[in-house]
Structure 1
Amino acid sequence: MLSGEIDGYLTYYDVDDFSDPWKEPESVLLYHGLGRSVDVWYHWVPVLARHYRVLRTDCRGHGRSDPPRPGYEWSLSTLAREARLLLDRLAIRRVHWGGESLGGLIGIQFANDYPDRIASLTLCSTPYHYNAPAQDEYRRWPGQLEQMSVEAWYTQRADLRFDTEKDDPEMMQWFAGLVGETDAGVIQAILRFLPDVDVLGLCQRIQVPTLILHPGQSLAVTEEDAQTMHQAIQGSKLVSYPDARHHVFMTHGEACAQEMLRFTQSLSRPQTAS
């Protein structure tokens, strides 16, 4: 359990590295989505940490990171800057960024703001914008959080995140409990700016290799949205999981992590002549 002061706040992070001790591994940064914490990456870490130094961090106000004080500016730029300051603190020059949902959006911002600090992007369940049905849903949520607990709010629309008929009920219950530990005010603050986000222009300026992991049954990221992002990010690779809901990083965690591993390792492999 590690934490460091970033802009006057304690920021929680974990580092796992099971690479060969005589080698100097590259670094991976895993960044979670709204209401989550570093704990959701439990099945990605064993896959990636055998080959990389894997850094996980709790977003501001999530998990074990300090909540913001009044006047804090919630934005993708602010959160990307805090990630950069964490890398500075740990003397990590460049990372392969793996982000899911909000964590992917922050990664897109990071790749634009600090292009020299990023080696690749893996975007899981990441929208470039929020379509009308998703916007309508998200804009209802802050009011709902005034009426019920975070865990109850999350559970009532678990079907947006999981296939509630097929996915492991114990996993879904654990996940709801984890989200329920997040302060409602933090979730409300993020939900007030998130529906208006549109990063298509930022996607068009990305200059690093990018892997897009798309859940085929996500309200927030439709097949058309995934294709638009794929076309916007030059040279990107798109992998789809047709039957997966938005939380594909959980339900197909090992498969997603293996996909990221193959992708990042291919970048350092010499290309053979055809």
Structure 2
Amino acid sequence: MPAFRFRTNQAPTGAVTDMTEVHTFTASDGETIAYYVDDFTDPWREAPVMFLLHSAMGNSDRFYSWVPALARHFRLIRMDLRGHGRSSVQAPSKPLTMDRLVDDVEELMQLLHIETMHLTANSAGGYVAQNMALRSAGKVLSLAVVGSTPGLSPDALTWLPRMEQEGMTKFLTDTIDMRFDLATTDAGMVDWFLRQTAENDPAFVRRFIGYCATLNWEDQLHRIACPTLVILPGAETVGTAKSYEAMREHIPNVRMIAYAHMPHNIADMVPDRCVADILAFHTDKFGYPKV
């Protein structure tokens, strides 16, 4: 794989701020996709590349607490999924498909001359990551997903009328215990989550959730060939225990770690624990980072 280091100022157009860079590119269907490069690895070493894909209703900023530890060992690429963050919102007339979401990742890899990478994702970002591992196995060295089942439960379709009638913020406020353990989560985190989700286009969010709730690829899990880590909430409220059991049973090279008694948003509630388990997984499977 060609050396990938944007610190040499050979990056595509974008703002460069020391070791974190902000960029956009135009996808093959004309949409603008935003991405961020975080690189705090030793300048004299070649380090592996890791892509981070965020959850629905979020954006790459949701990984703010993950970046410090991961970017010390990996050259991180955080991508705003289309319709989220600084990426453009596609027109309702344009089809939204999983193939297109995976295309965005592959086209960014091609732009950056990245042949293989480690793929780490949270919640709905994990749907894209799993399908990338299924479709383009040779490009994904490892897969790590947090709170991500093989498709969103159809129960999520019941959210949509409420989100449209009440507004996304009121719906999320009224159902916040589905996502956070309020007894142990800083109230500031909950407030920030509600403000950040409100920044998204509500019609696109409903469309995105509605689409994801129609998908299920449990019967394809056996085709995920790379080493895989699944970190799951022990008291999952968005997915189902049955779906995680399917991942345990059918993904050939899988490590399952359950966070007991926790609801869905473990990536936000216990980020340091998630990152520690991800790094330990990579050390065990690839000998890097060395501890």
Partner residue of 2:137 out of 115, 125, 132: 115
Q: Confirm whether residue 244 of structure 1 aligns to residue 262 of structure 2.
A: yes
> Equivalent residue for 2:34?
12
* 1:165-180 alignment runs, 5 A limit: 165-180=183-198
CA shift, 1:47, in A, is 1.1
CA shift, 1:86, in A, is 1.0
Code of the aligned partner of 2:261: D
TM-score scaled by structure 1?
0.92
Residue deviations 1:175-197 (CA, integer Å, cap 9, x gap): 11100111111111112222221
CA shift, 1:246, in A, is 0.3
TM-score scaled by structure 2?
0.87
Would you say the 8 A contact 2:51–2:78 is kept in 1?
yes
> Equivalent residue for 1:63?
85
CA shift, 1:129, in A, is 4.0
Q: Confirm whether residue 144 of structure 1 aligns to residue 167 of structure 2.
A: no
Partner residue of 1:163 out of 171, 178, 181: 181
Would you identify which runs of 4 or more consecutive aligned residues in structure 1 move more than 4 Å? none
Q: Distance in 2 between matches of 1:117 and 1:71?
A: 31
Partner residue of 1:234 out of 246, 249, 252: 252
Q: Confirm whether residue 264 of structure 1 aligns to residue 278 of structure 2.
A: no
> Equivalent residue for 1:105?
127
Work out the percentage of aligned pairs sharing the same amino acid.
27
RMSD, aligned α-carbons? 1.5
Would you say the 8 A contact 1:108–1:202 is kept in 2?
no
Code of the aligned partner of 1:199: W
Q: Distance in 2 between matches of 1:221 and 1:49?
A: 29
> Equivalent residue for 2:154?
135
Would you say the 8 A contact 2:127–2:151 is kept in 1?
no
Q: Distance in 2 between matches of 1:121 and 1:60?
A: 21
Q: Confirm whether residue 36 of structure 1 aligns to residue 55 of structure 2.
A: no
* Unpaired stretches in structure 1, ≥5 consecutive residues: none
Code of the aligned partner of 2:106: R
> Equivalent residue for 2:96?
74
> Equivalent residue for 2:69?
47
Would you say the 8 A contact 1:17–1:54 is kept in 2?
yes
Partner residue of 1:209 out of 206, 227, 240: 227
Would you say the 8 A contact 2:225–2:253 is kept in 1?
no
* Unpaired stretches in structure 2, ≥5 consecutive residues: 1-21
Give the secondary structure class of the aligned counterpart of 1:121: strand
Give the secondary structure class of the aligned counterpart of 2:221: helix
CA shift, 1:258, in A, is 1.3
CA shift, 1:201, in A, is 2.1
Q: Distance in 1 between matches of 2:113 and 2:69?
A: 24
> Equivalent residue for 1:2?
23
Would you say the 8 A contact 1:30–1:98 is kept in 2?
yes
Code of the aligned partner of 1:163: D
